[in-house]
Chain A
Amino acid sequence: MIVVKSKRQIWLSALGIAGLVGMVTAAIIVYEPAIPPVARPSPSSFEVAEVKRGAELASIGDCVVCHSTDGGRPFAGSKALPTPFGTLYSDNITPDETTGIGNWSFAAFQRAMTRGVARDGSHLYPALPYEHFTHVDDADLQAIYAFLMTREPVKEVQPPNDLLPGLGFRPLLAGWKFLFLRKTAFVQDKTQNNEWNRGKYLVEGLGHCGGCHTPRNLLGAEEHGSDLAGGVAEGWIAPALDASNPSASRWDQASLFDYLKNGIAGAHSAAGGPMGPVAEGLSEVDDADVRAISTYIASRMKPAATPSAKTNANPAKAEGTTASKAATRTPASDAAKLFAGACGGCHMSGAPMETAGRPPLSVVSDLKMDDPRNAIKVVLGGITPAAGHGPYMPGFADALTDQQIADLLAYARSRFTDAPTWPDLAAKVSVIRKEDAK
């Protein structure tokens, strides 16, 4: 049985250990003073240009994704973050003075973002990725503060966190931070150009790409030295953003830009799972910043790392050209027939998705990965465009059985890639179906 922990699950599992360490150092590090409340700053006290910049930075930081419920008011929090240790609910970060951050001074906001401490001095769970935000410079934090403080205040109290006994004791978090939170100023790499440096700054800081794309150690912190080497997010595999990515050789700045800005790149695939909202957020961001992010990520994917078995640089397996001409169309195997009926309407050569330039399955990363998890999740749940338009795929959870989905995927893997067969597929489908049903 496979258990993939989300980033939140992993750091929570580390809380116990961190807590022990924390006890030792508690006297030194636990205490944080409350920062006095302020009257909510008048929205007109902020420059429009700064608010606009803050809006874009908040989109890069994707604040709205965790701080809103489906159908709820943006930034009003209360989104449930389920974990094996219980459920956390995100905070209301609208400027409501009683239930949100309306009476937070900039100093309080800055401390929360960079050190994970709320205005009243309590420690925040690292679901708020202050590991990354600690690298964000003050001017950018000022802009985000300006943006948040000019939102409409929403009165909404999030439900109390529902954690296992003991884990609700926030001073434990100080120990975790003592071990893993490193506040370092961003250092320019003089050998690289400004765009690259801007990209690195955004990726490591506000973008907190590593939150999903970096593996975590046993204590649930991101592994230093393995930046962007691949991680997990909400049950999905967040692929490596380095040369070990199965499609690394085909990603470049232009295709990354398309993917991040539009949620789809013709020679790759559509953003699915938790990446959907990320791309949706980036669609609101100035092209230059998205290009900078693309430039930096592309550079990380390029340096030829030691080729390993899994970094197959195989070119996309060309779809049989005869299929496009007049030739036999009768699918051979049962799986091929299943594929033709369930997937062919969109993914066969000549189907509308393909004639419209949507990515063919021969380039899709999910089919090339060593782990079938993402491919299974897409087939079960489909892809729902975050903004109501853009790439869409229906889910097949209700239409097909575990075995049928396994057969389909095995067929697609062998037809569209040169990668080896995925073992135990049906069992994996069954596990993921149960996870998704929760």
Chain B
Amino acid sequence: MTPSSHLPVTRRNFLGGAGIVVAFSLAGMSTARGAATGEAEPSGTGAVSVLPDDLQPFPYLDSWIRIDADGKAQVFTGKVELGQGIMTALLQVAAEELDMPPNLVSIVTADTTRTPDEGLTAASHSMQYGGPALRLAAANVRMLLLRTAASMLGVADTEVSTMGDGTIRASNGRSIPYGAVAASLSLHVEAVADAPLRQPKSYRSIGQSLPRLDIPGKVTGGASFIQDMRLPGMLHARVIRAPSEGMKLALPPRAEIEAIPGLHAFVQQGDFAAVVCEREWDAVSIMRQLMANPSQRQDENLPVGDIASILKPLPAKDYVIEKVSHPTAKPVKRLEARYTRPWYSHGSIGPSCAIAQMVDGELTVWSHSQGIFDVKRVASSLVGMPEDKVHAIHVQGAGCYGQNGADDAAADAALIAHLLPGRPVRLQWMREQEFGWEPLGAGMVTEAVAELDASNRIVTWNYDVWSPPHNTRPTTANGVLAGWEVTPAFPPAEKIPIPMPAGDGSRNSNPLYALPNMDVNFHFISNGPFRSSAMRSLGGHLNVFSIESMFDELAKAAATDPLDLRLDHMEDARARAVMMAGAEAFRWKTRRKESKFHGFGMGFARYKNLGAYCSVFLEISVEQNTGAITVLRAQTAVDCGEVVNPDGVRNQVEGGLIQSLSWCTREAMSYDTQRRTSFDWSSYPILRFQSVPIDIRVDVLPKPGEPFLGVAEASQGPTSAALANALADATGLRFRDMPLTPEKLRRALITL
């Protein structure tokens, strides 16, 4: 029942049986699951007698669940709410296994003094790995509650059952509430792996679209976000940096700054500087005033030009991702293509924010980081305090979609508070600071060569991907801006890619399709021109875009339906089912081009080849004279294993689809030789209402009893690919370099 037992085995069976599997080694890549590799897959053994990965280091049940005398349950998770609805889904899982009404359960998310350390809330791991841990812990608690109740009621263990309302009833008709049982039950016991789970046919919570717990507050002005926290005596800070990464701002002498009216304190340590004020607008205004000073580039000039010519010459470390060979028929057609994506901004609507306070030698940091235990480690190393004197608490921020400025802002705030002990300090990054300094989603290049035999079988698949890092999440001060600015500075950490099977720039570079000959190579560029780190789906976005684009190019060369070509090369039954379910709902087989510049496209992937399966089908029209794309219909089908909250899954998949359309059609961090030049929403436009598909449908396939599969990033790659494929269908032209902007399309289409 552990996730690793669900590797895509079909292809390997096929290859193992008939072909030569060339073993490849990931030696030299870190495989330890720790904070630094929190985006990597846990290394579970797959044996059922072993606890789920997240439960192993924290086996005591009271780390996860407490039941009060009044019968209410408190659930503790190291995962955090990012707007993905995980709090609600995890609560449903706990309520199910505790067999309690969800409204009697409350949930506490990552807090270094209260909850287990479950690493990052990232990589679509929360349900896949956090879910089973919490589930088994809750099942253990229910088992103990039943046993204790049986002895209290004087009946055999088999004579009691939970009723779903927080009570236990014996076969003799007597019943007892959880609260009464809990009072005489210690949960400071280790979980066992074989506690009985509730069965799908009797589910009360799992599978229900329980309304999100956090939405009522968010639509009525509740204090939902870290930005809404107001601690007594709180000061407002703004950090002072040049307009862009790679530059340095020249500041006037300290005394001159300190004379500015409205300033409470000017905080400076090495090249780190911040202004702190009683009033927020004073902090903004003084920051602006200081920003008017000149900035100069410190690092070497940025390379400009097309992304392939920038990335490919850079020093890279090469990794073999997949190498298999197998005798096949002679190839008769050969296709080669290069695909690229630019650097992307996470583009959170709420720029990063953090609050920190230093009192009595203890430092507390409130942050919306995805890795709250890492916030503690970073702050501790940055300010030189022992870890047990530093606490970090998660409070929601705006959606981050990966590593935006959250961790940097948390470190900034920690440093300011450490230098200015006493009152709490709230640090808010400005929008332009987020654009100028956050780690970007890495620009990437792929090259694919594929050959078809006379019967339209793909006989050769050679694939290369070049990418800067997708995971530079900080675990000490050497991974945050403030750490590089203080004196003495913390030299930047060495960058290491996330190993397969999760992968980094290599994520999803190994096709799930059953291909007899594959040579897939990853060229890891540890030092790209920009700071880069995790952004939703990591390298999976371009890899799926490339693979799925190439499949359509092959289908065109073979004059066969793109869906058929995929099914002909797919042995994973669930993958086939997801493609066919999507096609059926979309009415793919009976699609008809209604006019020139009207067309259809599909994309498919199983995220990381480990998570959810997702197929996306699009119907579009393109305006030849403007290059504007209208998405008339979007249909997706998803298999994410057991579905805890169907509406939550639909919300995530639909959101990912719209976000991916935005990435694919308009986004790119602009820059010149000196700096990032995207600094606002006019220089980094994202999709607005008028470009939203006219119709969107998400079908979630029911898979009762199957393990949970992470779904939040599943639609990123398939959607961008489906769009490129629909464009090719609508125009006869293949667009391989994102973003596919109206200007680019117009240029290509205007004379057609």
The reply to whether the CB of B202 lies closer than 8 angstroms to some CB of chain A is no
Docked Cα-Cα span, A25 to B147, in Å, equals 110
Q: B623's closest neighbor in chain A, by CB? A: A74
Task: List the B side residues contacting A325 at CB < 8 Å.
Answer: 252, 256, 292-293
The stretch that binds A, out of B30-38, B257-265, B317-325, is B257-265
B679 touches which of A48, A349, A356 (Cβ 8 Å): A356
The residue on B at minimum CB distance from A388 is: B685
* CB-based nearest B residue for A346: B680
Q: A324-B293, A325-B256, A356-B677 are in contact. Are A350 and B625 (CB under 8 A)?
A: no
CB of A350 within 8 A of CB of B595, answer no
User: Contact string, B403-446, partner A, CB cutoff 8 A, digits 1/0?
Assistant: 00000000000000000000000000011100000000000000
User: Does residue A343 face the partner (Cβ distance < 8 Å to B)?
Assistant: no
* Chain B window 594-605, contacts with chain A (Cβ cutoff 8 Å), 1 for yes, 0 for no: 011100000000
Contact A329 B624 (CB under 8 A): no
B292 CB contact (under 8 Å) in A64, A73, A350, A385: A350
Given known A-B contacts A152-B595, A387-B743, A390-B682, A352 and B243 have beta carbons under 8 A apart: yes
Q: For the complex, what is the distance from the CA of A352 to the CA of B291, rounded to whole Å?
A: 9
Given A75, A151, A329, which contacts B289 in the complex, CB threshold below 8 Å?
Answer: A329
B750 at the interface (CB under 8 A from A): yes
- CB of B286 closer than 8 Å to a CB of A: yes
Closest CB in chain B relative to A194 CB, distance in Å: 26
Q: How large is the interface on B (under 10, 10 to 19, 20 to 34, 35 or more residues)?
A: 35 or more
**A351 contacts partner chain B, Cβ-Cβ < 8 Å:** yes
For the complex, what is the distance from the CA of A150 to the CA of B596, rounded to whole Å? 12
Residue pair A329, B625 in contact (C-beta under 8 Å): no
A351 touches B288 (CB 8 A): yes
Nearest neighbor of A46 in chain B, beta-carbon distance:
B751
Is the CB of B666 closer than 8 A to any CB of chain A? Answer: yes
Interface positions, chain B 724-752, Cβ under 8 Å from A, are: 742-743, 746-747, 750-751
Cβ-neighbour of A284 out of B261, B285, B683, B746 (below 8 A): B746
A152 touches B285 (CB 8 A): no
Q: Which of chain B's residues 451-509 have a Cβ closer than 8 Å to chain A?
A: none
Cβ–Cβ < 8 Å partners of B680 in chain A: 352-353, 356, 392
When each residue 343-362 of chain A gets 1 if its CB lies under 8 Å from chain B and 0 otherwise, what string results? 01000111111111000000
Q: In the complex, what residues of B have CB within 8 A of residue A190's CB? A: none
Within residues 315 to 331 of chain A, which ones have a CB less than 8 A from any CB in chain B? 323-330
Chain A 383-418, CB-CB to B under 8 Å as 1, else 0, gives: 001011111100000000000000000000000000
A312–B625 CA distance with the chains assembled, in angstroms: 42
The answer, among A48, A152, A350, for a CB contact under 8 Å with B596, is A152
Contact partners of A151 in chain B: CB under 8 A: 624-625
Contact string against B for A residues 236-279, beta-carbon threshold 8 Å, 1 for contact and 0 otherwise: 00000000000000000000000000000000000000000000
Residues on the A chain within 8 Å of B4, using CB: none
Docked-complex contact A326 and B289, CB < 8 angstroms: yes
Query: When chains A and B are docked, how far (Å) is the Cα of A350 from the Cα of B683?
Result: 18
Residues of A close to B623: CB separation below 8 A = 73-74
Q: Verify A55–B288 contact, CB threshold 8 A.
A: no
With beta carbons under 8 angstroms apart, the residue of B256, B624, B751 that contacts A326 is B256
Q: Which of A48, A326, A340, A353 contacts B285 (CB 8 A)?
A: A340
* Residue on B nearest A47 in the bound complex, by CB: B751
Q: Are A355 and B243 in contact (CB under 8 A)?
A: yes
- Per DSSP, chain A at the interface is loop
Taking the complex as formed, is B295 at the interface, i.e. its CB lies under 8 A from any CB of chain A?
Answer: yes
Chain B, range 270-307, C-beta contacts under 8 Å to A: 285-293, 295
Partner of A328, one of B261, B287, B683: B261
Number of interface residues of A (CB under 8 A): 39
Distance, CA A353 to CA B679, complexed state (A): 8
Number of A-B contacts (CB under 8 A): 104
Expressed in whole angstroms, the minimum distance between the Cβ of A174 and any Cβ of chain B is 33
Residues of B within 8 A of A329 (CB): 260-262, 285-286, 289
- Cβ of B626 < 8 Å from any Cβ of A? yes
Interface of B is mostly: loop
Assuming A284-B746, A326-B289, is B597 touching A152 (CB within 8 A)? yes
Instruction: Decide: A352 near B679, CB < 8 A? Known: A73-B623, A152-B597.
Output: yes
Contacts of A75 in B (CB 8 A): 625
User: Is A52 among interface residues, defined by CB-CB distance under 8 A?
Assistant: yes
Min C-beta distance of B79 to chain A, whole Å: 35
Q: Which residues of A contact B595 (CB under 8 A)?
A: 152
- A354–B295 alpha-carbon span in the complex (Å): 12
Residues of chain B contacted by A390 (CB below 8 angstroms): 682
Whether A385 pairs with B751 at a CB distance below 8 angstroms is no
Is A51 among interface residues, defined by CB-CB distance under 8 A? yes
Task: Indicate if the CB atoms of B751 and A52 lie closer than 8 Å.
Answer: yes
Closest to B750 in A: A55
Q: Are the C-beta atoms of B682 and A326 separated by less than 8 Å?
A: no
A152 to B290: give the CA distance in the assembly, Å: 55
A175 CB to nearest chain B CB (Å): 36
Report A-chain residues with C-beta under 8 Å of the C-beta of B682.
385, 389-392
- The residue in chain A whose Cβ has the minimal distance to the Cβ of B255 is A326
B684 to chain A, nearest CB (A): 8
Docked complex: B333-378 residues within 8 A CB-CB of A: none
Q: Which residues of A contact B293 (CB under 8 A)?
A: 324-325, 350
Q: Which of A151-182 contact B (CB under 8 A)?
A: 151-152
**CA separation between A326 and B746, bound complex, in Å?**
49
- Name A349's closest neighbour in chain B (CB-CB): B292
A242 and B131 alpha carbons, distance in the complex (Å) = 71
CA distance A78 to B485 in the complex (A): 59
Q: Mark B613-633, 1 if CB is under 8 A from A, else 0.
A: 000000000011110000000
- B260: chain A residues within 8 A (beta carbon): 326-329
Contact A48 B288 (CB under 8 A): no
Measured between C-beta atoms, what is the minimum distance from B639 to chain A in Å?
Answer: 36
Judge whether A387 and B742 touch: CB under 8 Å.
yes
CA distance A327 to B261 in the complex (A): 8
Which of the listed residues A52, A349, A355 has the most CB atoms from chain B within 10 Å of its own CB?
Answer: A355
Contact between chains at A55 and B751 (CB < 8 Å): yes
CB distance from A361 to the nearest CB of B (A): 14
Roughly how many angstroms separate A340 CA and B596 CA in the complex, as a whole number? 52
* Chain A residues whose C-beta falls within 8 Å of the C-beta of B625 in the assembled complex: 64, 74-75, 151
Docked pose: A348 CA to B284 CA in angstroms = 12
- Contact, CB under 8 Å: A344 / B288: yes
**A355 CB contact (under 8 Å) in B291, B597, B683:** B291
B252: A residues at CB distance < 8 A: 325-326
A387 CA / B677 CA spacing, docked (Å):
18
Measured CA separation A330–B281 after assembly (Å): 12
What string of 1s and 0s marks CB contacts (under 8 Å) between B229-254 and chain A?
00000000000000100000000100
Within the assembled complex, what's the spacing in Å between the Cα atoms of A20 and B260?
Answer: 72
A303 to chain B, nearest CB (A): 35
CB-defined A-B contacts under 8 Å, sample of 21: A51-B751, A52-B751, A55-B750, A73-B623, A152-B597, A283-B743, A284-B746, A323-B289, A326-B257, A328-B261, A329-B261, A329-B286, A329-B289, A350-B288, A350-B292, A350-B293, A355-B295, A356-B683, A385-B682, A388-B685, A388-B688
B residues with a Cβ closer than 8 A to A are 243, 252, 256-257, 259-262, 285-293, 295, 430-432, 595-597, 623-626, 666, 677, 679-683, 685, 688, 742-743, 746-747, 750-751
- Using CB atoms and an 8 Å cutoff, list the residues of chain A in contact with chain B: 48, 51-52, 55, 64, 73-75, 150-152, 283-284, 323-330, 340, 344, 348-356, 385, 387-392
Closest CB pairs A-B (n = 8): A350-B292, A324-B292, A350-B291, A326-B256, A392-B682, A74-B625, A352-B432, A350-B288
15 additional A-B residue pairs with CB within 8 Å, beyond A151-B625, A152-B624, A284-B747 = A51-B750, A55-B751, A150-B751, A283-B743, A323-B292, A325-B292, A328-B260, A329-B262, A349-B289, A355-B291, A355-B292, A355-B432, A356-B243, A356-B683, A390-B682
